[in-house]
Amino acid sequence: MNIIYLVIFFPLISFIFLFFFKNVLSYKIISFISFLLISLSVVSVCLLDIFFFISPYFTFEKCLWSWWNIQSITIDIGILIDSLTCVFLSMITIVACLVYFFSIWYMQHKTNNIGFFELVNLFLVNMLILVISNNFLFMYLGWEGISVCSYLLINFYYSQVRVNYSAMKSFIFTKVGDLFLITAILLLYIHYHTLNFYEIAFLTKIYLIKGTKFLQIVNVLLLIGAIGKSAQIPLQIWLPEAMVGPTPVSALIHAATMVTSGIYLILRNYNVFILTPHVLYMIGIVGGITLILSSIVALVEIDIKRILAYSTMSQIGYIFIALSVGACNAAVMHLIIHAIFKALLFLSAGVLISKCCYEQNIFRMGNQLYKRFPFLYVCFLIGGVSLAGFPIFTAGFYSKEGILLCIYNSKNMFFFIIAILSIILTTLYIFRLIFVTFHTSSNYHITKTSMNCFQYIPLIIFSIFSTTFGILILPNISNMFPMIALPKGYTKFYLESISSILVILNIFISYYFYILRKNIVLKIFILKCLVTLINFIKDSSFGFYYIYELFFLNIYLAVAYFLSRKPFNVCSCFVLFLVKKINFLLISIEDITLNVYIMLISLNIIFVSCLIILY
């Protein structure tokens, strides 16, 4: 198990190496060495995968050192490795390695490109800390670390005011969720005297932790923390705003790593959540609302990266529903597949945007782009059909069907209807994106540059894994959580048939409205009331922007401004001033008293002397 230390050791060494040698060596040498170190981390994870393939039930926990040991309060720093940790480590490091390789090309002519790789390495270290930690507090260290790194990476083009504003907004909204999470952690420790994941799981098994009102409050707070990181309603605004950062950041942080940390938090503490069914149901409600609203916004959005961001929100919402009905194994499978095809879509979008002179409006990107960039078109098609769940040939079909079957089995018609709607909406918005971007005509200028291995290799690998082949190489996750007894007979076949028909039908609907009958869509969109409605949906995200600015952003900035005036320093200075004045007054009184004493003694001596003389 010592190999686990290498997984986190190589990205850390890479960060230190970049920090000290960024001004000494050339960009090519530095990027190559740094990529090599990240690759070694991937190799370490692969060896770990082999071990868990042989021993899937193995669990390794070790205390590294004692962080706090004051009276009865003891907080240890340790690691926990089990099959859940191993799956997340594989997903994070492999996606990060390929995105890193892609970034060598993407960032080569950017200012401060070495700084970009420094931040990516630091982000990766914090993400790995989050996943391997064995207690809440150590996990929270990584949790906060990825927030800071995400803010710095979103704000990479910091010379633009719009980017500063978006980065600040993203940071604030993730902080709101973090405040709830740290409150939950404190309550857990005060009541149960432990923050260790396995000890908490053990307490639930022996019924020392029960589904009380107190636990419901704690679970709601944990859920809000997860909602903040996974960009779910009502804290979803930060993800579309984060798209102002470099495209590799969107592919790595906002599709495969950071947004998955909320799901990891729920999965790691699922034995606690399951004790409070109402909170578990609330997870599904949050996911369902996010899924529908973000899919509708994706249907009217025109920025290619923001469409993909809304798509991420909707798919995470779909996974939230799966967690709500107990389909944890299916949720983990879809989480991995989603990370793969979403990274493919983001990287393909990055190449396309660079070739279209950094134009991101899908209606202005080019003229018949499928003829000019057939390779990118194929990559988009593979990613798109996998996202939609096209039958038989895509990995998304199997991962989404697993969740759909579990939702059907739960007998919850509300979630089932939302899942069916998600199939329709997802197919519509992703094929709207593909048809409008690649098949429409525009006179916008396109750069004629050839592609290189830094673009081809990651896109080819992600494309292969987005097909059925991706399902075949997945680690065995069927025993990670208790299995659900799924319906037998023809139910599975019927559900797969219905979803397949819906996907194919909606592809034709998109093709009809955006290729064959574009005039119909244009005529509909000319209607003034519809334009107003679309602007309301797109610009304010169903009015959420106004609410957030009123209740979160403005209050947070006001508190930050108040704290920037150093109020505690003013208070301490006032107290010091008061103490000095009181001290001076007491000394003065003491001096006066002494003088009075001396005067009285002198008068007494004079009086006594006079009496003696007279006598």
3-class secondary structure for 495-521? HHHHHHHHHHHHHHHHHHHHHHCHHHH
**459 and 576 housed in the same domain:** no
User: What band does 445 get if pLDDT is binned at 50, 70 and 90?
Assistant: low
- Residue 327: inside a domain: yes
**448 and 581 housed in the same domain:** no
User: How far apart (Å, rounded) are the C-alpha atoms in residues 75 and 241?
Assistant: 36
The predicted-structure confidence for 26-53, as pLDDT tens digits, reads as follows 888 888 888 999 999 999 999 888 888 8
Quote the pLDDT of residue 58. 82
Segment 131-159 mean pLDDT: 90
**449 and 368 housed in the same domain:** yes
Quote the pLDDT of residue 530. 65
- Residue 28: inside a domain: no
Q: Is the pLDDT of residue 506 over 90?
A: yes
**575 and 468 housed in the same domain:** no
**377 and 440 housed in the same domain:** yes
User: How far apart (Å, rounded) are the C-alpha atoms in residues 149 and 245?
Assistant: 12
Range in 114-118, 462-466, 493-497, 582-586 with the lowest mean pLDDT: 582-586
User: What band does 585 get if pLDDT is binned at 50, 70 and 90?
Assistant: confident
Q: Name the nearest CA neighbour of 92 among 60, 125, 59.
A: 125
**487 and 597 housed in the same domain:** no
User: What band does 262 get if pLDDT is binned at 50, 70 and 90?
Assistant: very high
**577 and 507 housed in the same domain:** no
Number of domains observed in the structure of the chain: 2
Which one is predicted more confidently, 604 or 272? 272
Segment 325-342 mean pLDDT: 91
Quote the pLDDT of residue 19. 86
Segment 159-179 mean pLDDT: 85
Q: Please state, rounded to an integer, the average pLDDT across all residues of the chain.
A: 85
Range in 250-259, 387-396, 503-512 with the lowest mean pLDDT: 250-259
Q: Which two tokens stand for residue 562?
A: 């108040």
Quote the pLDDT of residue 252. 84
**336 and 482 housed in the same domain:** yes
Q: Is the pLDDT of residue 480 over 80?
A: no
User: What band does 458 get if pLDDT is binned at 50, 70 and 90?
Assistant: very high
- Residue 21: inside a domain: no
Per the confidence metrics, is the pTM higher than 0.85? Answer: yes
Domain boundary among 462, 495, 518: 518
Q: Is the pLDDT of residue 529 over 70?
A: no
Segment 509-516 mean pLDDT: 88
Domain boundary among 457, 484, 518: 518
Q: Is the pLDDT of residue 384 over 90?
A: yes
Q: Is the pLDDT of residue 321 over 80?
A: yes
Quote the pLDDT of residue 444. 62
Quote the pLDDT of residue 52. 83
DSSP structural state of residue 467: B
Highest mean pLDDT among 171-180, 436-445, 475-484, 603-612: 171-180
- Residue 318: inside a domain: yes
User: What band does 556 get if pLDDT is binned at 50, 70 and 90?
Assistant: confident
**510 and 571 housed in the same domain:** no
Taking CA atoms, 456 is separated from 98, 103, 375, 442, 462, in Å, by 11, 12, 9, 26, 10
- Residue 407: inside a domain: yes
- Residue 475: inside a domain: yes
CB neighbour list of residue 249: distance below 8 Å, 6 or more residues apart: 120, 153, 154, 156, 242
- Residue 241: inside a domain: no
Segment 231-249 mean pLDDT: 86
Quote the pLDDT of residue 254. 74
**339 and 412 housed in the same domain:** yes
Tell me which H or E stretch contains 544. helix 544-548
Quote the pLDDT of residue 236. 81
Q: Which two tokens stand for residue 309?
A: 């961001």
Strands 60-70, 73-81: pairing kind? antiparallel
Q: Is the pLDDT of residue 77 over 80?
A: yes
User: What band does 536 get if pLDDT is binned at 50, 70 and 90?
Assistant: low
User: What band does 323 get if pLDDT is binned at 50, 70 and 90?
Assistant: very high
Please say whether the dihedral angle defined by the alpha carbons of residues 114, 119, 120 and 124, taken in this order, is positive or negative: positive
**577 and 468 housed in the same domain:** no
User: What band does 238 get if pLDDT is binned at 50, 70 and 90?
Assistant: confident
Q: Is the pLDDT of residue 522 over 70?
A: no
Taking CA atoms, 157 is separated from 77, 105, 238, 258, 477, in Å, by 36, 17, 17, 20, 40
User: How far apart (Å, rounded) are the C-alpha atoms in residues 615 and 613?
Assistant: 5
Quote the pLDDT of residue 562. 78
**pLDDT above 90 coverage of the chain, percent:** 36
Backbone angles phi, psi at 455, to 5 degrees: -95, -40
Task: Provide the residue range defining the domain that includes 347.
Answer: 314-518
Q: Is 209 exposed, middle or buried (0-12, 13-18, 19+ CB in 10 A)?
A: buried
**577 and 491 housed in the same domain:** no
User: How far apart (Å, rounded) are the C-alpha atoms in residues 162 and 101?
Assistant: 28
Domain boundary among 518, 535, 555: 518
- Residue 107: inside a domain: no
